[in-house]
Structure 1
Amino acid sequence: MVTDRGLQVLRAIVQDYVDTHEPVGSKSIVERHAFGVSAATIRNDMALLEDEELITAPHTSSGRVPTDKGYRVFVDHLAELRPLSTAQRAAISTFLQDPADLDDLLARTVRLLTQLTGQVALVQYPSFASANVTHVELVRLDEFRMLVIIVTDTGRVSQRLTATPSGVDEQDVALLRAQLASLITGRSVRSGSERIEELRASAPADRSRLDEALLTIAAVAGEELDEFRQDRLVMAGAATLAKREQDFRGSIHPLLQAIEEQVTLLRLMSEMAADEKGLSASIGRENDSFGLTEASVIASDYDAGVGRARVGLMGPTRMDYPSNLAAARAVARYLTRLLDEDENRR
């Protein structure tokens, strides 16, 4: 059974180890923290923490370092989020101000988070399956190229360049635009995608020139609507893993592979259990089934209007959890506010 003072000793060990990257001994705890007890008493507390597998000795006769279980107890019970500085809050407001669109906003978000924390930053796109298509536009650029534009009520804009169907002129484009709009405008992304599939499945073999052109353009629009429905991540800061490679117990290759493939990180981000504040953490061996036992992932929920998604950070288990969680939460709150303001303007 770990005493209250023992838990405070664990807090001191985590904080000192994160700050110094050196195993923490009883003497340094007495010198750096005001426990008001002797080093011998602290050693007894550390022995109990070691019995509970919350700390371990990396070398014989060395100080102690937190285990993954120790970090979990620290995050769940002992970590107090550190308020962001005035400069950090100003940086968030300035860096995320007046984005061109959602893609721009989320790209800025991950760059900002990496700069604030020095970790790999991750942001989930919200699912737009229930968003409604509000506008469709076809722009004939020349005899070979056409731009297909789709806008949803969540502010998501898709622009896809495609080959112009043979023999289509400006008058034909206006007719095709009206046909495509009647097919998907005012419908949800999911419903619009299904309508396009129905059109393609029921198309007769003997088709007119314009019918063939509509099928070609509808196929492009359908692919874009499917993109709206897919889970995606925006990431930044992969280079920080190489800079901090010494913080990992083993190879960083599984982390780099997860960044490249996204699927593993999407599953992990989606399955992490959040607390009542919308904060979540998955630490070290808790990520074993995802092949990421070397890493910790922390996240904060944000509200995108059509549903909730997550802003997160990935790095070594030896990370500054209070500061990183505070940064993720602050950015998530700002994202929620921006998206809410955008929704109200529409």
Structure 2
Amino acid sequence: MLSRRDTLLTSLKTAFGLAIGASSPLGTLLTSPAAASDRPRSADWAIPFGAAIRDWPFQNEPAYRSALIAHCRQIVGEGGLKWADIRPTRESFVFDQPDRHMAFARQNGMEMRGHTLVWYGAMPEWTKTIGSSTEAERELVGHIETVMGRYRGRIKSWDVINEPIPDDPASRSDIRPSIWQQRMGEAHIALALRTAARIDPQAQLVMNEYDIEYVGDRFRRKREAFLRLIRDLKLRNTPLHAIGLQGHLRGEVAIDRDGLSAFIAEIRSMGLDVLVTELDVIDNKLPGPPDLRDAMAAARAYDFLQAIQTVARPKAILTWGITDKYTWVPLWFKRTDGLANRPLPFDEAYQPKLLMRVIEHFAKDPR
């Protein structure tokens, strides 16, 4: 009779096309039993681990805050610093959420990342009335001055530019539509980065993107367009210090390990660091049984992190949430079989899953 270990490995090979040997590092991670007291302890890991926090459970659920304190060295708000949250009107800035998150981070010895200063999404209605390039520049610069100025020296890493490339770029010069792109063109990206560098010269300035890690022509085109933008910014001596790979991984789509590693190598050749900023595994198209699904999700994350670390050690690994209890995934990728999504490193009872074991593997000793 096959053991659970052999059954799981066979299922992964059959259902997912994964060539995983029982004695391979991945096979060992996925099938070795966890001790009853096995709990991640990330304080001394070589790569800091962190998570995005959602404000409602943060304020109302002690177990949620306890999980963040126990496992995270960094936090980032799911919301709070996005334009729709912080700028409900042209005249007002509302800092309640980020101020709460910052106080929590400082109290518990964590760092807080800033997300985000420029994004096409989550924009308040009033920004649709911006009618000229002059007005757009005034609003964008003033926003960055006010928001970054408030947290100068306290938020040390900012996603200045978020998701600048369309899902399927028509050309290498294609930039995602936004009010800033409509009014100022691509120049708004360099403007934002230069303004951010002026307001906080010590801050790490990051450009953040998703869907560049998979096998397939669409993803290759997006990767190439992103690289073109990064090269152009660096050629113009634009202050840009790191690239954020979100890592919203589609469980059913293979990682282009060679393509991703080549991308990382080029990023490093330009003197840029790499961060994993929003890791989770979208599992709506994976099989239902939790054991198998969790193993598939962990294996996908393993491929992703290994392709990065083959070339360079990321400066941080953050997941987009800490527990399956609170995740954005079912809003867009709800399972059709009625089962709950399981995209994050801890389950709804705050118990670590195989995904957390994979993150620990890379963060703890990333040689």
Scaled by the length of structure 1, the TM-score of the pair is 0.26
Scaled by the length of structure 2, the TM-score of the pair is 0.25
Decide which structure has the larger Cα Rg and report it: 1
